[in-house]
Structure 1
Amino acid sequence: MTTAESPATDCIDGPLLFARVLDGEGAGHPLEWAEAMNWQPQRTGEVLWVHLCRNAPGVEAYLEHLGISEPTRELLVSDRTRPRAFREGDTLVATLRGINFNPGAEPEDMLSMQLWCDGIRLLTLRRMPLQTPRHVLKMIDRREAGPSDCGALITELTEAMITRMSSAIIDMNDHLDGLEERDPEDNPEQAMAMISTIRRNCLGLKRHMGPMHEALEAISRYAPPWFEDHDRREIAESIDRLKRYLEDLDISKESAVVLMDELRGGAIARSEQATYMLTIVAGIFLPLGFITGLLGINVGGMPGVDSGDAFWMVVGLCGAILAAQLYLFWKWKWL
């Protein structure tokens, strides 16, 4: 699994990816980096959302300009991306993780997004391209009932992040269903490899989604007062969905284990059947080989050397022994 993140390459305005001033009615207008750095609300209800490359030059200076404490600044720009959330005065700080849908990525490769919010400004920071913020940005730009305040924006981001997780889980379940319906004799090695990949993906997703569940619970429990009751209810719904996804992962993992055991059992049964048949064949030819070997020794006194019928007598004897063996194997239920 690839957990290291490569530097972003799409920061074209300093560290800024995009910035929007929400008007409190589900829409917003863009700002340039210089405007976002010195932004102040012009009317009641306005909030600023700034999405940044956390490893780009200028980020730490901007965080210091906002008066964010040094330990929190280090957390927001660090590569320690285990999901967590905590309250610091009237601000909310969190690290969340979402599935990496970039080309060539595996479902278990997850990307981090740090956020900091004081109820007026929301900063989100990432290193690799993350599709969730762009999804919410489209809602705002299209005026499609986008978030109206910081609490709604945070809940929308977490909801979109969790929703995208479901597609990876559904895809794994579809692969498992296909493996269960396929012929066990049809390329079992390939099926075993696919099941191993699914199990690794399940373990990787659960390793990150478990702490994500704890982080969302911390947001719901400890968020500042500007995080309103309806936002807490939305987060509670997201927590419930994430819990169901974790249960689905457990079921998928157990299904993969059962399916792998069945494939291994089938392979062992086929191997044992082949060994059994070889043993039967060896048991049949052992006495015949003994007789022919005994009669083939090159010593004097061998009976039938001067008789023209001796060969056919030996063939008849071997046939009789073979018939007797087959009868006994059938009676003993070996065949």
Structure 2
Amino acid sequence: MVDSEQQELDTAASQQGGNDSPDDAPLLFGRVLDGKGGGRPITWAEADKWQPGDDGEFLWLHICRNIEGVQGWLQAHGIPEPTAELLVSNDTRPRAFREGNTLVATLRGINFNPGAEPEDMVALQVWSDGQRLYTLRRRPLQTPRQVLAQIDAGRGPCDAGRTITDLVEAMIARMNSSIVDMNDAIDEMEAKGTETDTDEMLSRIAVIRRNCLSLQRHMAPQHEALEIISRSAPEWFEDDDRREIAESIDRLRRYLEDINISKESALVLQDDIRARALSRSERTNYLLTIVAAIFLPLGFLTGLMGINVGGMPGVDDVHGFWIVVGLCGMILLAQIILFWKWKWL
């Protein structure tokens, strides 16, 4: 599920230290958007002095929040201390609220980094006043660079509201691939049936169910956060942006329904596999019981005839062995007839 092209972009950017920023600067990348779909790079030092003008430009900084000094920098640029603390906090439950003319949100996306599981969600904190947009993350997140690629190609958003909307849309769209992968895995296991190892299938189903529960746990509050953005965002968040957010909410709702279906399908498949395994075990135990019931009287007879005491009949008879074999055969035939009559066979 790793997007290799986007990962290469992330790796290259990290090796370059963002936009020629010092190695210890928290800036991953920065752009001054021109309001026409394009933008120009900006360094950390330049961003520190940037001021909004009247030409429709706005600033977007993507920041690594776990570098020391980020909270102080945010407070120095007019963000209240509680909000700045929230933006760099590890408390990343999805939420959103309006603070005067600013929008503050914490969103979560699927972790597509190497070795990560779908349930390892990556948080993206967002702050914007319409002229400045700050996005902050701790672990690599590919969604911002997807929007960045559109900006560098001249086909990006024209304002802060549209940038936030594009980030939300890209983040939710990436969730779909993880859900599709889980559905495909369930369909594959249903098609294979009992051809594969039962323990392996049960283990895979357990992973899918755990992923579904984790995704549902994170995506449900994200649904509420997006509704707050659509309903309570400041005036600079235009009506078109609200409609796009509403579309994203509807798409997220469908994904939540798909997750529920995947979870129920995995549960049904798990119960079916366990029922089949139990049925095979019971059938095996039944056959072993029948075999034991057949040989129990025969074993008793042969054991009785094998005791080494005086007075055993047929000891001196040359036909004694065949008489005992014939007697065992008659007992076996009688047992089979009785078991068939009793519907044991």
Q: Report the TM-score range of the alignment, normalised by the length of the smaller protein.
A: over 0.9
Partner of 2:173: 163
> After superposition, what is the alpha-carbon deviation per residue over 1:63-96, rounded to whole angstroms, capped at 9, x for unaligned?
0111111111110001000000001111110000
Residue of 36, 51, 56 corresponding to 2:62: 51
Per chain length, whose mean CA-contact separation is higher, i.e. which structure has more relative contact order (CA < 8 Å, sep 6+)? 1
CA deviation after TM superposition for structure 1 residue 58, in Å:
3.0
* Alignment partner of 1:62 is 2:73: yes
Q: Is the 8 A contact 2:106 2:123 kept in 1?
A: yes
Task: Name the structure 2 match of 1:135.
Answer: 146
Distance in structure 2 (CA, Å) of the matches to 1:303 and 1:31: 110
Alignment of 1:181-196 (within 5 A): 181-196=191-206
Counterpart of 2:307 in structure 1 is: 297
> Which of 111, 114, 135 in structure 1 is aligned with 2:125?
114
Q: 2:40 aligns with which of 25, 29, 32?
A: 29
Tell me the residue number matched to 2:343: 333
Match of 1:124, SS state, is: strand
1:259 correspondence with 2:269: yes
- How many correspondences in the alignment? 327
Q: 2:232 aligns with which of 213, 222, 229?
A: 222
Tell me the secondary structure at the aligned position of residue 231 of structure 1. Answer: helix
Aligned to 2:282: 272
Letter aligned with residue 324 of structure 2: V
Aligned to 2:164: 154
- Three-state SS of the structure 1 residue aligned to 2:103 is strand
Distance of 2:321 and 2:62 partners within structure 1: 95
CA shift, 1:298, in A, is 2.0
1:197-223 Cα deviation digits (max 9, x unpaired): 111111111111111111111111111
Letter in structure 2 aligned against 1:201:
N
- Structure 1 residue 230 displacement after superposition: 0.9
Is 1:242 aligned to 2:239, yes or no? no
Q: In structure 2, what is the Cα distance between the partners aligned to 1:265 and 1:137? A: 51
Which residue number in structure 1 is paired with residue 9 of structure 2?
Answer: none
1: CA distance, partners of 2:343 / 2:196: 30
Match in the other structure for 2:108: 97
Task: Select between 23-32 and 242-251 the one with higher mean Cα deviation.
Answer: 23-32
1:310 equivalenced with 2:341 (yes/no): no
Contact 2:126 2:135 in 1 (8 A): yes
Q: Distance in 2 between matches of 1:224 and 1:317?
A: 98
The TM-score, its normalising length taken from structure 1, stands at 0.95
- Structure 2 unaligned segments of length 5 or more: list them: 1-12
- Find 1:125's aligned residue among 116, 136, 139: 136
Scaled by the length of structure 2, the TM-score of the pair is: 0.93
Contact 2:38 2:154 in 1 (8 A): yes
Given the alignment of the two structures, is residue 282 of structure 1 paired with residue 306 of structure 2, yes or no? no
Partner deviation per Cα, 1:15-40 (whole Å, 9 max, x = no partner): 11111111111111110111111111
Percent identity between the two aligned chains? 66
- For 1:140 and 1:118, how far apart are their aligned partners in 2? 20
